[in-house]
Chains A and B, each alone.
Chain A
Amino acid sequence: GQNIDQPTEMTATEGAIVQINCTYQTSGFNGLFWYQQHAGEAPTFLSYNVLDGLEEKGRFSSFLSRSKGYSYLLLKELQMKDSASYLCAVSNSNYQLIWGAGTKLIIKP
């Protein structure tokens, strides 16, 4: 089967750094996406990785290791508005997105 695993919930402090991990097993691989979803809203695109390595975009970075079936999303200088769910999704050989259950990130002052 295909599955995406990520922690259910994480807590971090404002101004700190947090790393959200994602491991995957899919039928084929055509890239990995990270999305942010605030409660009651639709997901918004954060990052896309298809090659191994680190992609940096402002306070957010995403890392991919295809051989390990592993990715992480790194959030720096955390702000209260970063409190949200973070969804990991993998595009499989049919270009379908397989979604993780999401990681709820709670930021404390």
Chain B
Amino acid sequence: GAVVSQHPSRVICKSGTSVKIECRSLDFQATTMFWYRQFPKQSLMLMATSNEGSKATYEQGVEKDKFLINHASLTLSTLTVTSAHPEDSSFYICSARVGGQDYHEQYFGPGTRLTVT
């Protein structure tokens, strides 16, 4: 149980284009999903918290107009990197919280490797 999928696993795009990454909870309903970014040899950096049916909460320093997050259903959240640039190349990971706020283990998707050329 508690499986989270991400698609695509890898994507290469040209500078200036937009890329959409999907995160799905396959066998449970996730009211809250999280989007992280991880640069090589660094820890996870939380970008935003996404609650189903409401606007995402972005961490300080993360541009909400550049990283568009949509959480339209209890099993799907999407992250769109708009007008991507080489510095956006990174490993993007989503996670979903199982259960209510008092049981807050996060299960992670397999990640998406984004390369912007």
Residues of A at under 8 Å CB distance from B?
30-31, 33, 35, 40-45, 48, 87, 91, 95-97, 99-102
How far is B89's CA from A109's CA once the two chains are assembled, in angstroms?
35
Across chains A and B, the number of contacting residue pairs, with CB separation under 8 Å, is: 41
How far is B105's CA from A20's CA once the two chains are assembled, in angstroms?
21
B46 lies within 8 A of A41 (CB): no
**Nearest chain-A residue to B104 (Cβ)?**
A95
Total interface residues on B, CB under 8 Å, equals 19
In-complex Cβ contact of B43 among A30, A31, A41, A101 (8 A)? A101
Question: Is B42's beta carbon under 8 Å from chain A?
Answer: yes
B111 lies within 8 A of A91 (CB): no
* B105 contacts across to A, CB distance below 8 A: 33, 45, 48
**Nearest chain-B residue to A35 (Cβ)?**
B108
Main SS at interface, chain A: loop
How far is B108's CA from A41's CA once the two chains are assembled, in angstroms?
10
- Check A95/B101 contact, CB under 8 A, given A42-B93, A42-B108, A42-B110: yes
* A95 contacts across to B, CB distance below 8 A: 101, 104
**Nearest chain-B residue to A102 (Cβ)?**
B43
**Nearest chain-A residue to B112 (Cβ)?**
A42
